[in-house]
């Protein structure tokens, strides 16, 4: 799959910011997205929220590999809004992310240079108001242990614990980009060869 990369970075959650220059107000919004369709839904919601905005410009990078990119000037002079927003996303190494900037014109023209700076500044400010998360493609393993054995598995060097379920036994769900090293480490902690169930791969 073209979208199957080892890791990708995106925004942790939605955020917004406000930037005012020469009486023009720039309201920037950023969102994590899983697809171009989700980006378009977010944009439709923003248009409904700001029916009297002068412009709603945006850029998004969809797909974990960043294979789908789109930018729109939305009526501003060509290249002064969408592309600067897109460059901010690229500069921060983000994928699966949308930034939209809503402009309310204040009566003073900013010129092409001023617009470019304003949209880039607004986008950057929005991203500063959220954290980023890096997801890695990991193999997921499941192991069933008694309570005493499960209690011995805590901090892992070669993986992470995803879930711990309690019943008659303890079911541990572990994940690692290097599953064989994780198995060796876990076997070492248990001081025996354990049985693992392969559960596929996920971005975690």
Report angle CA 148, 183, 200 to the nearest 5 degrees.
110
According to the model, what pLDDT value does residue 3 have?
63
Q: What is the mean pLDDT of each run of 10 residues along the chain (204 residues)?
A: 80 97 97 96 98 98 94 98 98 98 97 98 98 96 95 94 95 96 96 94 94
pTM of the predicted model as reported, rounded to 2 decimal places: 0.87
| Distance of alpha carbon 38 from the chain centroid | 13
According to the model, what pLDDT value does residue 4 have?
77
According to the model, what pLDDT value does residue 1 have?
41
Helix or strand or coil: residue 36? Answer: helix
| Distance of alpha carbon 109 from the chain centroid | 34
What gap in Å lies between CA 115 and CA 34, rounded to an integer?
29
What gap in Å lies between CA 47 and CA 49, rounded to an integer?
5
Q: What are phi and psi of 80, to 5 degrees?
A: -95, -10
Q: Of 123, 2, 6, 106, which is closest to residue 58 (Cα–Cα)? A: 123
């Amino acid at each position: 799959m073209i979208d199957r990369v080892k890791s990708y970075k995106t925004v942790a959650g939605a955020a917004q910011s406000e930037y005012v220059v020469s009486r023009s107000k720039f309201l920037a919004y950023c969102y994590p997205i899983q697809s171009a369709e989700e980006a378009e839904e977010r944009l439709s919601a923003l248009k409904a929220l700001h029916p009297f905005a002068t412009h709603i410009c945006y850029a998004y990078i969809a797909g974990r590999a960043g294979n789908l990119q789109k930018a729109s000037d939305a009526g501003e002079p060509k290249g002064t809004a969408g592309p600067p927003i897109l460059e901010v996303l690229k500069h921060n190494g983000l994928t699966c992310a949308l930034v939209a900037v809503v402009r309310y014109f204040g009566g003073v023209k900013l010129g092409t240079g001023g617009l470019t700076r304003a949209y880039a500044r607004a986008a950057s400010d929005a991203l500063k108001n959220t954290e980023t998360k890096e997801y890695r493609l990991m193999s997921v393993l499941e192991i069933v242990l008694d309570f005493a054995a499960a209690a011995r598995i805590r901090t892992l060097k070669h993986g992470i614990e995803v879930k711990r379920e309690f019943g008659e036994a303890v079911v541990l769900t572990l994940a690692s980009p290097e599953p064989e090293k994780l198995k060796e480490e876990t076997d070492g902690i248990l001081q025996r060869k354990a049985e693992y169930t392969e559960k596929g791969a996920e971005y975690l």
